[in-house]
């Protein structure tokens, strides 16, 4: 039987010491016996998963921790999400993220239109598509406010764009797409203002006291990335991704992995942790490498909700890490790693740029005697190029 590899990602779990927690981090305060066992009986350290010059986010950080250098393979966030939707693309095509957003008085009020429903989003987008006169442009509805625009034409783009979640309550005028091709994008955005104004969907939302979708916001653009499969790059044959997030499903598809749904899975603390533990254990029987990703700690951090962040870390430890560890211990040859893709800091409500922490245990890994915390990780091995971590995990 071949070696079984499992990676568990508590998204955004790493943080900094907080005054509310008497100078400790959420990971230090959370009771995590399984993660501590892994650190103590294995190795712990840090890894820079967001290289200099990149924005901190799960697109860049997940690519790094899976062993792919973002400087070589990252072409934008939108193309990764297009892969999740199985949209067929040529190398010359462009993909843009096409958020539905709420703007007011020239300011970005809400990057998600209060989590607008798929049905509402589809109708708005379809009416916009009918009125946009730009040959080669095609809209693809996604989940809620997260839609895509694919451009299959001869125009070229060299653009600076801004993620709308990074500019809350800031003036639109300072953050509009700028550079080669921006005229076309601005024209679509202006057209959406006209189409959405007094649209029946918005009239109903206004009556219900909800944020209106006032326009689309284009960003995250890129060509489809040319990524060698995980088998080609690392020689490990069958991979599976368990996640509730399109972005990670997209990365999995590009790596040649299968995405697996776990029942009751959401991006928030109401997710079914126990079901994810069972789904992950089952996947170990069928796949050589399994990645199990939990979004909840990241979302709690964006809300500055440290109580929920701690609760979600404890739930991941008890319901995902512990059962997976127990299962692997009954197998002859295995390795397990637990690492947040990047820090998400309660204090700023944003993703951090510090190196994240990792811990791995299993066959032929020496015990460190340390515990699973940001502080202990600094006493272990520091990996400057996050994408080197995978080699260590597989062979080191
Ligand atoms: Zn986040």
Its pTM stands at 0.88
User: Per-block average pLDDT, block size 10, for the chain (396 residues)?
Assistant: 93 97 98 98 98 93 98 95 92 96 96 90 97 95 91 95 89 98 97 98 97 97 95 97 93 96 92 98 98 95 93 98 98 97 93 97 94 96 98 92
Distance, CA 345 to ligand 1 centroid (Å)? 10
Single out the residue of 100, 58, 79 nearest to residue 199, CA to CA. Answer: 100
How far, in Å, from the CA of 381 to the mean position of ligand 1? Answer: 26
Q: Which residue, among 8, 24, 9, 111, has the nearest Cα to 346 in the 3D structure?
A: 24
Ligand 1 midpoint to CA 296 (Å): 9
Give the model's pLDDT for residue 144.
83
Q: What spacing in Å lies between the alpha carbon of 283 and ligand 1's midpoint?
A: 26
Q: How do strand 4-10 and strand 289-294 relate by DSSP bridges?
A: parallel
| Ligand 1 geometric centre to CA of 341 (Å) | 10
pLDDT of residue 126: 97
Q: 316 alpha carbon to ligand 1 midpoint, in Å?
A: 17
Distance 340 CA to ligand 1 centre (A): 11
pLDDT in the model for residue 339: 98
Cα(302) to centroid of ligand 1, in Å?
A: 7
| Cα(57) to centroid(ligand 1), Å | 6
pLDDT tens, residue by residue, 40-66: 999 999 999 999 999 899 999 999 999
Residues with CB under 5 A from ligand 1 (ion): 298
- Cα 74 to ligand 1 centre (Å): 18
Distance (Å) from CA 58 to ligand 1 centroid? 7
């Amino acid at each position: 039987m071949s070696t079984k590899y499992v990676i568990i990602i508590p998204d955004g779990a790493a943080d900094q010491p907080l005054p509310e927690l008497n100078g400790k981090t959420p990971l230090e305060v959370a009771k995590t016996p399984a993660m501590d066992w892994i650190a103590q009986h294995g190795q712990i350290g840090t890894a820079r998963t967001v290289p200099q010059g990149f924005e901190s986010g799960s697109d860049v950080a997940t690519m790094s921790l899976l062993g792919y250098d973002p400087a070589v393979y990252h072409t934008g966030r939108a193309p990764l999400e297009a892969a999740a939707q199985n949209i067929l693309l040529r190398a010359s095509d462009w993909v843009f993220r096409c958020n539905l957003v709420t703007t007011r008085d020239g300011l970005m009020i809400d990057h998600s239109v209060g989590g607008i429903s798929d049905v509402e989003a589809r109708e708005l987008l379809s009416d916009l598509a009918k009125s946009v006169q730009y040959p080669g442009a095609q809209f693809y509805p996604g989940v809620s406010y997260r839609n895509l625009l694919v451009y299959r034409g001869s125009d070229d783009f060299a653009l600076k764009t801004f993620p709308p979640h990074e500019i809350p309550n800031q003036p639109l005028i300072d953050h509009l797409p700028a550079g080669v091709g921006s005229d076309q994008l601005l024209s679509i955005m202006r057209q959406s203002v006209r189409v959405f104004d007094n649209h029946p969907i918005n009239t109903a939302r206004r009556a219900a006291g909800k944020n209106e979708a006032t326009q689309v916001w284009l960003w995250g653009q890129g060509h489809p990335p040319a990524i060698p499969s995980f088998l080609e790059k690392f020689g490990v044959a069958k991979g599976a991704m368990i996640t509730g997030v399109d972005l990670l499903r997209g990365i999995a598809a590009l790596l040649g992995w299968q995405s697996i749904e776990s029942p009751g899975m959401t991006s928030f603390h109401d997710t079914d942790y126990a079901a994810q533990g069972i789904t992950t254990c089952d996947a170990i029987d069928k796949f050589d490498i399994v990645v199990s990703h939990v979004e909840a700690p990241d979302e709690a951090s964006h809300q500055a909700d440290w109580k929920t962040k701690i609760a979600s870390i404890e739930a991941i430890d008890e319901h995902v890490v512990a059962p997976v560890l127990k299962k692997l211990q009954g197998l002859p040859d295995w390795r397990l790693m637990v690492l947040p893709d990047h820090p998400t800091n309660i204090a700023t409500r944003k993703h951090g740029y510090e190196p994240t922490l990792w811990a791995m245990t299993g066959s032929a890994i020496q015990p460190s005697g340390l515990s699973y915390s940001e502080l202990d990780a600094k006493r272990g091995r520091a990996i400057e190029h996050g994408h080197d971590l995978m080699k260590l995990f597989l062979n080191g």
